[in-house]
Amino acid sequence: MGQIIEKLALEKGHTIVGKYDSKNPFNKENYVDADVAIEFSHPELAMNHIKTAIELKLPMVVGTTGWYNEFEAMSNLCIQNNSAIFTATNFSLGVNLFFEMAKRFTRLLNHYDYQASINEIHHLQKKDAPSGTAITLAEHVIANSEKYNNWTLDETNLMDQTIHAESLSITAQRLPDVPGTHTLKFENKIDIIRLEHEAKNRIGFAAGALLASEWIIGKTGVFGMSDLLNFEN
């Protein structure tokens, strides 16, 4: 992701002033003055990167997932420090349109006998399961559903909807060279309705992260894709 973002940024006329990785970690000692930072690393590194950026008042766009159990704490720290962070489980425009359609689908099917489930497929290097995108999708379904109040990861991949009738089942698969596929399925005894997003490559994620980076400069607060895309209007 870093390489793709760098390529797109240079093509748009931006300057890359610093690059960091596990061998050259981002911290206050090696920080280079910048307008914005983009964070796509690993969950175990992301927290320190986010905290450092907040303390430096450096706007940061965070694409890493797997750290969201600390989201509230980091949001509070950001507000206290009058800084800015932009977080998203997926920066793709297509995925965020997919989220909006999933909300509508769920509301339409509330009064019909359909069971919902989610399946996500990613590359073998993907550290967290289910993906942050799948979790966000599940949260949108739950918020618009009259049936589900939580989600569970089905590690057996059997999609047994009879065990947890009020729990939305998510299955996660890891296969070679898969940028990301997410399927929301509604099924009953008569038919199956599927809503699916399949990424052909990672360019859409990088382009969205770069757009968010341009947008957040000069702002303070905690933001996400709904602020950037403003679908409600």
In the chain, domain spans: 2-91+202-229, 93-198
Taking phi over 0 as left and psi of -120 to 50 as alpha, with beta for the rest, 46 belongs to alpha
Q: What are phi and psi of 13, to 5 degrees?
A: 90, 10
How large is the average pLDDT for residues 85-104?
A: 93
Candidate list 126, 140, 182, 197, residue with the active-site label: 126
What's the pLDDT at 22? 79
CA-based diameter of the chain, in Å?
A: 62
Q: How confident is the model at residue 157 (pLDDT cuts 50, 70, 90)?
A: low
Query: Which residue would you say has higher pLDDT here, 41 or 143?
Result: 143
Is 14 among the catalytic positions? Answer: no
Task: Give the residue from 95, 65, 89 showing the smallest Cα distance to 195.
Answer: 95
Task: Give the residue from 79, 37, 32, 74 showing the smallest Cα distance to 58.
Answer: 37
Q: Are 42 and 64 in contact (CB under 8 A)?
A: yes
Residue 163 confidence (pLDDT) above 60 = no
Say which residue the tokens 């965020």 belong to. Answer: 96
Residue 145 has, within 13 A of its CA and on its CB side, a CA count of: 24
97-154 pLDDT, tens digit each: 999 999 999 999 999 999 999 999 999 988 788 998 999 999 999 999 999 999 999 9
CATH class of the 93-198 domain in this structure: alpha beta
What's the pLDDT at 233? 58
Is 182 among the catalytic positions? Answer: no
Task: Write the burial class of residue 230 (CB in 10 Å: 0-12 exposed, 13-18 middle, 19+ buried).
Answer: exposed
Burial profile 184-222: b = 16 or more Cβ within 10 angstroms, e = fewer = bbbbeeeeeeebebebeebebbbbbbbbbbebbeeeeeb
Candidate list 49, 122, 182, 197, residue with the active-site label: 122
Mean pLDDT of the chain: 91
Structure tokens at 116: 């919902």
pTM: 0.77
Count other Cβ atoms within 10 Å, centred on residue 42: 15
CATH class of the 2-91+202-229 domain in this structure: alpha beta
